[in-house]
Chains A and B, each alone.
Chain A
């Protein structure tokens, strides 16, 4: 298949120019033939391998040679067959298997105590040694979770009007992971269709117990049940916890006021603002405002104007205990909604970066959290675009990798420079220091008799 796709003349017809991409034309964006080419020429095997080795692929005496081969990969094949507990000895091993099986989805699981493909042998031996020992701390945030507060699309669709919700989640969680939990090696990835994934890769994060993972997940959770079809954030106490306070002042309020009110028309459509007013515990205040707005259909009060009105009423202090309502409204409409179950357990699988989503044909590219506002999920390179770019490049021999001739170039460069390189550096340092500590220790014991 490789190499001969140029000769297929229907190829050129199928491939769209980037200008008229429509998310609906799924069948044109993805096919297993395209995917074969993608795995053949573009998928960054060596980067994935280096990442998943965490420095154990080098010559250092402290390297754990079995490390990579104890990692679980899972493949979803064309016929929906699901292969779990795949493991690989080397980058080439991984590459060959992917090329051969052409999985529509590659999932990454934990590093186990023993090679997961040989787990049966260990189970039969009767000792329960097959257990996860390391796993990145991962988060999965799905736009469908926000369906009660977005009106631009629903279900798996995502557009520029609701993307800000994802940008908020990235900013709030990324900052907390760095400043509160002290993590440094964090990778954000577009899931290819309806959300984002986050991989926290510091050694400390990979070794967290399930209990610690749960505690972090709960730390990020403010939603308590739902009321009238709205997931409601419940905030108690005289002050907000510093994490919530920072999220509120640095991110949430700003997005709510400057972007979402307008994007989602939160205050100009009656059933939308009714839902907001429902959050206010004092029903008389809510209905007072409701009347005001309803009687005023033609009035020129802008959406922002209505929000200001509501805010000043709640904050006036005339009505006891309503100040918190302002924050509860903003939190309910902006605060990240992570899929708790994904993060809580070490052995949850998560789709690998640089996979291609079979429904949209879009590549799961990394997202720069610093510029997540500018990220446009509707113009992410699709399989067909990439192949067209490959075609257009013709026989350019002056590049080392084929992806350098495509839009994937940026993404891979970003992956390397902002994630992989700093990670490799700190893995090396960690290895050095644990090694020298061990050497010292053994010197001590041998002298200490």
Chain B
């Protein structure tokens, strides 16, 4: 495992500080630094995530990324900046490889970060970067990209990936990426493979003995700095059953409101819906006892209470970690909800993404969204900014701004409660 930088100091000012993170660094790092670096980088990534969900333009993003990087990734010792970059990247990579969802989020934020940082580099330093790192990877310039972009789109379509105009492609000798060649996942031209940024191989390169040293830190980082996962009910604990209809009406995001209404009407929800709503309610503060009562009240009208106890109660207890593997399940984030594909008869998913335009308009106007606001929301939907559409809905019906954007249905709920229920007062 070697650092991807030659032993000599970066040459002059032109040397780039942009790393391609191909190998984990073999550097001596103090444990405290280790953790601090990772937190700083996480701030950058969260900032980028917020910027994206606010729908910032590429130019605004450029400024934002530049800002975030400069404020968080500074180091008093200039020579340490590159190390901080490398170390923080690899620590977070370890933390975020634990689940698919985390990995996806991390990868897409890192890609954005890299893209904007790469654009900030001068051409000269881009060139030096390649020379310094002795990489066979060459980023495509605009002219080259234009020449092959149709083929690149064709390849993405052939492997069922949406092609994104913003994707950075690298040109590498085909021998470097045998797997991608074998599966025809890259475009080949005159001996070069055109590899998309997200295809660059992510190998876990941490050696065994280092793993022992890193594990506790990684775990600590995982629990304390990933941001709330809403698996534990927040401050407004223990909501009672009689309040639940009012809460649904005022503080549930559209996805949960829809599930809730369907349940009240049909006295039934399919598995996907039960999970999405059930875990949300848990995060909102419905305890197990109330949850069982709530679900039984509805389902027994349809299937009878006996069958409910036999077939459905288990899932409810399971969600609360009282059955099966006894893990406490985490309420779904927007990203997860948006990415599912509901089938006929399902009501889970994100309405902004999964409803027809007509149904969405109807649902929104029931919530009190109309006029300009409606047009704005629909506009975001058309541009596939679902979370942003949800944020605007939130802002409209609460007549307040929501700067962080909506990333999680439970966050939606909490922010709504904070606005509607000034400190200390409770509903009952």
Contact = CB atoms under 8 A, between A and B. Distances in A.
A219 B184 contact: yes
A449 to B, nearest CB: 16
A211 B157 contact: no
B304 to A, nearest CB: 40
Interface stretch (B175-183, B233-241, B260-268, B380-388): B175-183
B192 A237 contact: no
Interface of A: 179-183, 204, 208-209, 211-212, 214-216, 218-219, 236-245
B25 to A, nearest CB: 27
B293 interface: no
Contact of B154 (A182, A211, A239): A239
A180 B175 contact: no
Contacts of B74: none
A182 B191 CA distance: 4
B159 interface: yes
A180 B151 CA distance: 12
B174 interface: yes
Contacts, number: 63
A214 B151 contact: no
A219 B160 CA distance: 17
B190 interface: yes
Nearest to B159: A237
A242 B175 CA distance: 19
Interface of B: 151, 154-155, 157-160, 174-175, 178-179, 181-184, 187-192
Contact of A215 (B151, B157, B179): B179
Contacts of A219: 181-182, 184, 188
A259 to B, nearest CB: 27
Contact of A181 (B151, B160, B178, B188): B188
Given A179-B189, A241-B154, 18 more contacts: A180-B189, A182-B190, A182-B191, A209-B175, A212-B181, A215-B174, A215-B181, A215-B182, A216-B181, A218-B182, A219-B184, A237-B160, A238-B158, A240-B158, A241-B155, A241-B184, A243-B188, A244-B158
Interface of A (DSSP majority class): helix
A179 B190 CA distance: 5
A212 B178 contact: yes
Nearest to B179: A215
B192 A182 contact: yes
Contacts of A244: 158, 184
A211 B184 CA distance: 15
A204 B191 contact: yes
Most chain B beta carbons < 10 A, residue from A212, A215, A239 = A215
B157 A238 contact: yes
B190 A242 contact: no
A208 B175 contact: yes
Contacts of A218: 181-183
- Which residue among A214, A219, A241 has the maximum number of chain B CB atoms within 10 Å of its CB? A241
A182 B157 CA distance: 24
A441 to B, nearest CB: 15
B175 A212 contact: yes
Contacts of A209: 175
Given A242-B151, A242-B154, A215 B159 contact: no
B160 A238 contact: yes
13 contacts: A180-B190, A181-B191, A212-B175, A212-B178, A215-B178, A216-B181, A218-B183, A219-B182, A238-B158, A238-B160, A239-B158, A242-B151, A244-B184
- The 4 A-B residue pairs with the shortest CB-CB distance in the complex, in nearest-first order: A182-B191, A218-B182, A215-B178, A239-B157
B142 to A, nearest CB: 21
B158 A241 contact: yes
B317 to A, nearest CB: 41
Contacts of A236: 160
Contacts of B182: 214-215, 218-219
Contacts of A204: 191
A104 to B, nearest CB: 37
A216 B192 CA distance: 13
A212 B160 CA distance: 24
Contacts of A245: 154
Contacts of B154: 239-242, 245
A218 B175 CA distance: 13
A208 B174 CA distance: 11
B187 A242 contact: yes
Contacts of B160: 236-238
A237 B157 contact: yes
Nearest to B148: A242
A182 B179 CA distance: 18
Interface centre among B151, B154, B179 (most CB of A within 10 A): B154
A181 B174 contact: yes
A188 B160 CA distance: 36
Contacts of B178: 211-212, 214-215
A343 B159 CA distance: 25
Contacts of B192: 182
A214 B183 CA distance: 11
A219 B175 CA distance: 13
A63 to B, nearest CB: 26
Nearest to A245: B154
A228 to B, nearest CB: 26
A216 to B, nearest CB: 7
Contacts of B179: 215
Contacts of A214: 178, 182
A242 B158 CA distance: 9
A371 B191 CA distance: 25
A209 to B, nearest CB: 7
A245 B187 CA distance: 12
Nearest to B192: A182
A356 B188 CA distance: 37
A444 to B, nearest CB: 15
Nearest to A181: B191
Contacts of A237: 157-160
Contacts of B151: 242
Contacts of A240: 154, 158
B154 to A, nearest CB: 5
A79 B304 CA distance: 86
Nearest to A212: B175
A21 B221 CA distance: 82
Nearest to B153: A239
A317 B179 CA distance: 35
B151 to A, nearest CB: 5
Contacts of B155: 241-242
Nearest to B186: A241
Nearest to B150: A242
B164 to A, nearest CB: 15
B188 A180 contact: yes
A208 B176 CA distance: 11
A238 B151 CA distance: 14
Contacts of A179: 189-190
Nearest to A238: B157
Contacts of B183: 218
B15 to A, nearest CB: 20
A174 B334 CA distance: 50
A179 B181 CA distance: 14
Nearest to B181: A215
Contacts of A241: 154-155, 158, 184
Contacts of B181: 212, 215-216, 218-219
Nearest to A204: B191
A209 B184 CA distance: 18
